[in-house]
Structure 1
Amino acid sequence: MVSATSFDSSSPSVSPSSDKRLWSNVRNRVDVLLEENSKNHKPVTNTIAIESERSKRFKNDSMLLLKGFDSVSHTLSLLSSNLDNALQGVRELAKPPSYSEILHSNLKADQIQRQQKEEDEEEEESKGKKRKHESDVEQTEDSSNEEEKRPKERKIMKKAKNIAISMAAKANSLARELKTIKSDLSFIQERCGLLEEENKRLRDGFVKGVRPEEDDLVRLQLEVLLAEKARLANENANLVRENQCLHQMVEYHQITSQDLSPSYEQVVQGFCLDFSSPLPQYDDEEEEHETRARDVSKALNESFEKAEEEQY
């Protein structure tokens, strides 16, 4: 009991899970020692000296175990504190600098530059005063030098202001880029979550013996593909019909052009005042051309009527 109280007082504050593990290890060790003691137990004929030695050894072993557990608990507490500090540092580093912090740092830099310039100016003024006391000639030279340095200092101040403005603009652009990157990351994370859910659902379906064709997504995709196939088939049929109609119209145009060619030649010959004997006329050929033209016109009318009926 004394050793246990000393252990509780010396050990630092640890999480409950670590305490449970520690005491479970202690109990296991004590059980092992008791089992070894029971196995190696001899008859009552052993002397009191041997029992006292065993008890001393047992006490020494228990004290060593307790000391070891104390050291282990102490190291675990140190590790936990170090890990907490490291996590806090990582979180602070991971946080992007805010616009106010950047402006604050720029203002500090400007203040430091101004202080340095003021100190330089004070040193120069003190030197100028010393030189004034020495001679009037040096005073004139100092005044001329100061007049020459003032525009230079003004230029330096303007440059510093321009640099601060550019830094602020860069900070704004970086903040915008960070916002865009965060939005992209959130979208990617959402997409990954959806893909993981779909993957899990598909794995569960395969394990349970469900076919992939029975999945809702596959079924929807198949329905879309079948609808697209039907639409393309209808378009193909319409195009075939239009092609047939165009072929029939071309044939009709050719037949009519063949019918008009001899009359056109006769008109041209009439204008040329050809007094040659008239050409023979072929009544049979003209009748055949007329019948063909009529058949083609009937076929065209029938095809157009069918197309209109199908559309309506």
Structure 2
Amino acid sequence: MSIFFTSNSNSSQFVLTGFPGLEVNYLWLAISFSFIYVMVFLGNCMVLHVIRTEPSLHQPMFYFLAMLALTDLSMGLSTAHTVLGVLWGFLQKISLDSCIAQSYFIHGLSFMESSVLLAMAFDRYIAIRNPLRYSSILTNDKIKKIGIAILCRSSLLIPPVIIRLRFLNYCRPHILSHSFCLHQDLIRMACSNIRFNNVYGLFLVISNLLLDAVLILISYIMILHTVLAIASREERLKSLQTCVSHICAVLVFYVPIIGLTMVHRFGKHLSPLVHVLMGNIYILFPPLMNPIIYSIKTQQIRRVQRLFSLKKT
């Protein structure tokens, strides 16, 4: 069957790429990825459940953690049907409209996660800089406003570049480089003028991911400055330990993004399998690791999880 199309109608289909060269191992890959997605869903649902049901966790830090878990859970839901569909063999193509919708959710949720990590950095700075006024500064009302601002920022800035995808002429081979749809994949197949997508896409990256990364770095410089002013060595270590989970979450999120960007930008000579692996790491690594990081590093969550396990026994 031909995979070349010149039509820009709703009936246009795009071929989802699995793992080139590993087709004979699809059964094991399908089992492995199914397990990963189950862990993503269970891990983030557990974090949300623990925070919702345990009154002692109704604090600003854990509200932001709940936002992070909800974002990670949504990211898993947005890609599970195509990734697992390709590996289990019941989905090989995706329509243009479905591809655009998936691209919107993937990029929007990435920007949302970046915004939540920035809010969590602000939370850590307030907790260390003004520990006695922490709860009075970050009230529930302010946290709600921050959450709404994050949602609006992540969802309302993307539609112009995503809607534009619907009106491009896709005359190149309709073969996606991943088992899910990314904006850069779609514009690569377009024969129309993509200047707006390139310029506006760069603006989104700079005004969201890059700006958030710079602000997170500045917040930690200020945190370090505050911590060094603390006289007691034990208090300095205790303050820094409250930031370990967040630092790990920041690295887990930004390192795969940088890696995927480098591969797309400079890795045209690399095997397609490298592109596929980096894309899946970018999508799945943060949602998988964040519940583990916070369960290990946050004493309150560990204690509640132990209580849950004792009640079940």
TM-score range normalised by the length of the shorter chain: under 0.3
**1 or 2, which has the higher helix percentage?**
1
Select the structure of larger CA radius of gyration: 1
TM-score by length of 2: 0.21
Structure with the bigger RCO (C-alpha within 8 Å, sep 6+) is: 2
